[in-house]
Amino acid sequence: MPTCGSRKPVGCVILKRVRTLSIALLGMLALDFVAAAQPPPPPLMPWPASITFSPGAVPLDAKFTIGLSGVGAADPRVKAAALRTFDRLARQTGLPLLPRIVSPDHATLRIVVEARDHRPPQQLGDDEQYSLQVSEAAIRLTAGAPLGVLRGLETVLQLVRQNPAEAGATPGFSVPFVEIHDRPRFPWRGLSLDVSRHFIPVEGVKRTIDGLAAVKLNVLHWHLSDDQGFRVESRRYPRLQRLGSDGLFYTQADIRDVVAYARDRGVRVVPEFDVPGHASSWLPAYPSLGSRPGPFAIVHERGDPTGVLDPTKEATYRFLDAFFGEMAALFPDPYFHIGGDEVDPSEWNEQPRIVAFIKRHHLADGKALQGYFNARLEKILALHGKRMVGWDEILQPDLPKSIVIQSWRGQKSLADAARAGYRGLLSAGYYLDLMQPASQHYAVDPLQGETAGLSSEEQKRILGGEAAMWEELATAEDLDAKLWPRLAAIAERLWSPESVTGVASMYQRLEPINHWLEWLGLTQRSNLRLMRQRLAGVLPVAPLDAFAAILEPVKGYERHRGGYGSSMPLNHLVDAIPPESDAARDFNNAVDRYLAAPNPAGAEALRQQLAGWSRNLAPVRPMLLANSLLTEDLPVADEVAALCRAGTEALSYRTAAVPPDWKPRALAAVKDASKHYAGLLIPIAPAIQKLVDAVP
Ligand code: ACM
């Protein structure tokens, strides 16, 4: 934001004529009207519930101090968050900011925490509201409870900016005058993180928690077991991790460390042990838990045999009771996820013993047998003080209403759950592993679509949602790039008012937020750059970067269908690019603007862009030939060349005579470019098609 120091001359005012920007900004956010004359929205994400800017700013300098007051200030999370703020501010501004907590009356940042939170650990629905007033005197952050301080401090850090570099302005940093009153729309805002398919070491999990807290997400749903690996140390059943993993698992000390780390940052940790399906990794150590006779092995490659727990044996329940009891003590959150998804009943139907059990208990089929299993599990978990959460397959009318249904197969299951009296979470539409653009996730709202017709009582049962990151095709190396920045857009959907829907504004803010998240220590851009550098080998990486900038991974499950497994190296070009190409989106938007109002300058800008991409192929081709990992991308280079040619010709044929057979040839080139080589697609193709179509 432009600043005009009335305390100190820290900047100039561009918007002096507008005392408050809240109305203009809200219009921009909701109506998505970002006219060229409008200043970019301040890089806040999630956007606050209420915000009013005024001209002026509080300068940040080496004298920066924090003061803490109110009964809740004694909460260790508050002090720890204040100390982290010094560290992050110092990193962001380069100022030598010593952690100085001083008397509240004299501090630059005055934090007031009105109430103490007497109910650790953090609970679903704990107060996260805060108010922030930045004015002449100071930055005042007021919250009813410690969590609100944590949320508000992230807003303060997002507001910090360099003073505009203009004549007469003082170089430095400041926080603009603003008044914010903020609270979340939903109380459960999370990420489901699969660490079974590819293990994520503790440092990666902690880094992810940093990111969650930075965008005000409050749940890490930790998917700790699946067919490919059992990732937690059990002291009671140590063969689980020994035979059920490749040696990569979290010790109980690791788990305590991560849970404490998350608690300090206002993030609940909900463990998931997926049963009775996705359970192959339990069975090498305890084959008698399986529905069919063993031996069993953890799954390495897609198509390897899997195993399902046997719900008909009392021994299964004794085992789960003891194991869940051990885990219940390790994970303090009251909610405990039992998975329950994608159970293939054929394994049960093939066992005469299990078929006889189904008959004896008057169960209709395998689905009903899973219902029986879930009901037993719910009771076991209740005895350990836990409430059961499960994927939407567990929805059945006879389970107690205390359970939570996580909808992944579509929003209908969320609506069904709410109508039947269950609380629910939305994940359908938030699957980050499917490589969809941020805009697609951003358009998904837990209370729209199938759930829109619910009564207000039913809607209240929708607690929020979780993004999901499955790791079949991701590793610790590129995890951050698969999560960020798209997860920030989902965080906004779950925190901000329903009216905050403008896609252009979201993307305008997402870009600086992406940088800001990297300053925090996330590696979404830096690690991909490193991966491309590795692919470039001894050659300069810049041409490969420019080539990669207009590519995206194929969407949905297309790449999964090509096969995957733990032996598959995920170090090809498709692994070294973000899910969404900013350059392609910018180009596509520029083409739309041009076609809406064709003009010579617009045409020239598009031509230049296409010429640049085309020229870049000259140094790229030798790179693709030099590294055997990259040769698969040669057809992609050919398609980029053809697209650039078709686009350039289309631009010139708006004013020149069109050769009679040109259009069919150009359209054929665009069609060819929709073939996917090496798991890559070229997202400028739709815009090129529009340019070709527009030629008379
Ligand atoms: C799931 O994606 N199978 C929950």
Question: For ligand 1, atom 2, which residue shows the shortest CA distance?
Answer: 408
Instruction: Give the DSSP per-residue string, 342-406.
Output: S--THHHHT-HHHHHHHHHTT--SHHHHHHHHHHHHHHHHHHTT-EEEEEGGG--TTS-TT-EEE
Pocket residue to mutate for ligand 1, from 342, 392, 406, 425, most atoms within 8 A of Cβ: 342
**Contact between residue 597 and residue 631 where contact means Cβ atoms under 8 Å apart:** no
pLDDT at 29: 54
- Which numbered atom of ligand 1 lies nearest the CA of 391? 4
Distance (Å) from CA 83 to ligand 1 centroid: 39
In tens, the pLDDT along 505-533 reads 999 999 999 999 999 999 999 999 999 99
pLDDT higher than 60, residue 16: no
Its pTM stands at 0.94
- Ligand 1 environment, Cβ below 6 A: 341-342, 391, 408
Q: Which amino acid, one-letter code, is at 477?
A: E
**Contact between residue 189 and residue 218 where contact means Cβ atoms under 8 Å apart:** yes
pLDDT at 121: 81
Distance (Å) from CA 407 to ligand 1 centroid: 9
Task: Considering only CA atoms, give the Rg of the chain.
Answer: 27
Question: For ligand 1, atom 3, which residue shows the shortest CA distance?
Answer: 341
SS3 430: coil
Pocket residue to mutate for ligand 1, from 391, 392, 431, most atoms within 8 A of Cβ: 391
Distance (Å) from CA 398 to ligand 1 centroid: 23
What is the rounded average pLDDT of the residues 674-679?
94
**Contact between residue 405 and residue 414 where contact means Cβ atoms under 8 Å apart:** yes
In tens, the pLDDT along 580-631 reads 999 999 999 999 999 999 999 999 999 999 999 999 999 999 999 999 999 9
- Which numbered atom of ligand 1 lies nearest the CA of 192? 4
- Which numbered atom of ligand 1 lies nearest the CA of 278? 3
Active site amino acids: 342
Q: Which residue has the higher pLDDT, 29 or 371?
A: 371
CATH code, residues 188-335+347-524 = 3.20.20.80
Pocket residue to mutate for ligand 1, from 274, 337, 341, most atoms within 8 A of Cβ: 341
What is the rounded average pLDDT of the residues 662-673?
95
- Which numbered atom of ligand 1 lies nearest the CA of 470? 2
Distance (Å) from CA 113 to ligand 1 centroid: 40
CATH code, residues 42-182 = 3.30.379.10
Cα separation of 514 and 689, whole Å? Answer: 30
What is the rounded average pLDDT of the residues 320-338?
98
Distance (Å) from CA 363 to ligand 1 centroid: 25
- Which numbered atom of ligand 1 lies nearest the CA of 408? 4
Q: What values do phi and psi take at 146, rounded to 5?
A: -55, -40
**Contact between residue 340 and residue 370 where contact means Cβ atoms under 8 Å apart:** yes
**Domain spans of the chain?**
1-37, 42-182, 188-335+347-524, 527-693
Distance (Å) from CA 272 to ligand 1 centroid: 12
Pocket residue to mutate for ligand 1, from 343, 395, 408, most atoms within 8 A of Cβ: 408
Alpha helices in 407-502, H assignment, sequence order: 411-419, 438-442, 456-459, 479-483, 486-495
Provide the CA 629 distance to its chain's centre, in angstroms: 29
Alpha helices in 523-599, H assignment, sequence order: 526-536, 542-548, 558-561, 582-596
In tens, the pLDDT along 279-310 reads 999 999 999 999 999 999 999 999 999 999 99
Distance (Å) from CA 197 to ligand 1 centroid: 13
Burial (CB count within 10 angstroms: exposed 0-12, middle 13-18, buried 19+), residue 638: middle
